[in-house]
Amino acid sequence: MIQILRRHAACLFIGICFVVHATPSTGQRATLVLREGTPVSLTFGGPLSSKTAAAGDIVTLVLAQDIKIDGVIVATAGSVALGKITYVKKAAFAGRSGSLSIRLGGLNTGDKKIKLRASWKKNGESEVQYSRPYNLKYPMGLYRTGDDVEIASGTSLIVFVAEDISLDSMH
C-alpha cells in the first residue's frame, strides 16, 4: 500500500512539474517574425536642409507608431532609427535646385536592429532621395538661385523592412 502511494505521489509530482514547466510565465517573452517588406512609418527627429547639411551628417528618424505582429507590440513608437547623409547639392545660380540623399540605418528595438530600405521592392535601395524641381523661368530665371530642400521636423517617411527578423514582444 505504501509503495502504491509513493508511485501516485511520484506521478503527481512529475505531472505538476510538467504542467508548471509547460505553462509560460507572465514574464516570458514570445518570439515573433517581422516580415520583409512590412511598411514602417518614421518621422524626422529634427529639421533638415540641403543648404546646411553636409555628407556624413547623421539624421535621426523616430518610429511614428508601434509595430505590431498579430496584435503584439514588437517595436514601440519613439524608437530611434539613424540615417546618414550621403549626398548634398545646394541650390545654385540659374534656377538649379538643391537635393540630398539619406542612407537608412536600422531601427533600434531593444537588443536588435531592424534593417530598413526605401523601396518596397525586394532589391530596393537603402537610400532616400529628396530634390526640388528645376526652377527656370526664362529669362529672369537665369538670374535666380534655385530652391533648397527643406524637411521640417516631424515630416513623415514610409520605409520598409529589408529582411525577415525574429523579435521579442515588448510586453
Could you tell me how far CA 123 lies from the centroid of its own chain? 17
- DSSP string covering 66-126, please? -EEETTEEEE-TT-EEEEEEEEEE---STTPPPEEEEEEEEEEETTEEEEEESSSSTT--S
Q: For residue 92, give the nearest of 143, 55, 128, 57 by alpha carbon.
A: 143
- The residues near 88 (Cβ < 8 Å, ≥ 6 apart) are 50, 53, 54, 55, 98, 99, 100, 101
Residue 151 in this model has a pLDDT that exceeds 60: yes
Query: Cα torsion for 74, 77, 79, 83, to the nearest 10°?
Result: 110
**pLDDT surpasses 70 at 111:** yes
CATH class of segment(s) 30-168? mainly beta
pLDDT tens digits for range 18-33: 333 333 444 555 678 9
Per-residue pLDDT reduced to its tens digit, 16-71: 333 333 334 445 556 789 999 999 999 999 999 988 999 999 999 999 999 999 89
What residues does each domain of the chain span?
Answer: 30-168
- pTM (two decimals): 0.71
Whether residue 90 has pLDDT greater than 90: no
pLDDT for 20 equals 33
Q: Nearest 5°: CA angle at 80, between 76 and 84?
A: 150
